[in-house]
Amino acid sequence: MKILFICGENKLRSPTAEAIFSGYEDLEVKSAGLNNNSEIKLSAEDIEWAEVIFVMEGKYKKKVQNQFKKYLKGQRLISLDIPDKFKFMDEELVKILKDRVEPYL
C-alpha cells in the first residue's frame, strides 16, 4: 500500500509518520508539506502515487482537495486531527499516529 502523509511544512508531524510507518511490511511511505517553505513540497506526482493520503489537520484536507482536485482519483483522503504542537518523533505523537493510522492499514 502506498501511503502519503501531509502537514504544513513537512518538518515535524508528517516526517515522524513517514519514519514510523516506513518500517511496516508491505507499505511504501512518503511525506510532504503544503506550505511554500516545506522541506518537501507536495506535488501532483505525490498525489497520483498515493493510494491513501493522511493529512494532519482538517484544513489540509480542504487545501489538498482544492489544489489537487484533478489529481485525486479515488484515493482515500483522511484527516488525523493532530495539532501542530509536537516535536519530531515526540513520544506522544508516535502513539497518536499509531492509534489513528493503524486501523486503516
Residue 96, domain CATH: 3.40.50.2300
When pLDDT is averaged across residues 86-95 and rounded to a whole number, the result is 98
pLDDT tens, position by position, 24-64? 999 999 999 999 999 999 999 999 999 999 999 999 999 99
What confidence score (pLDDT) does residue 73 get? 94
Give the number of other CB atoms < 10 A from CB of residue 11.
19
What confidence score (pLDDT) does residue 105 get? 93
When pLDDT is averaged across residues 85-91 and rounded to a whole number, the result is 97
Query: Residue 4 — pLDDT band, cuts 50, 70, 90?
Result: very high
What confidence score (pLDDT) does residue 16 get? 98
- Show the 3-state SS of 9-62: CCCCHHHHHHHHHCCCCCCEEEEEECCCCCCCECCHHHHHHCCEEEECCHHHHH
Query: Domain range spanning residue 22?
Result: 2-104
Q: How many domains does the chain have?
A: 1
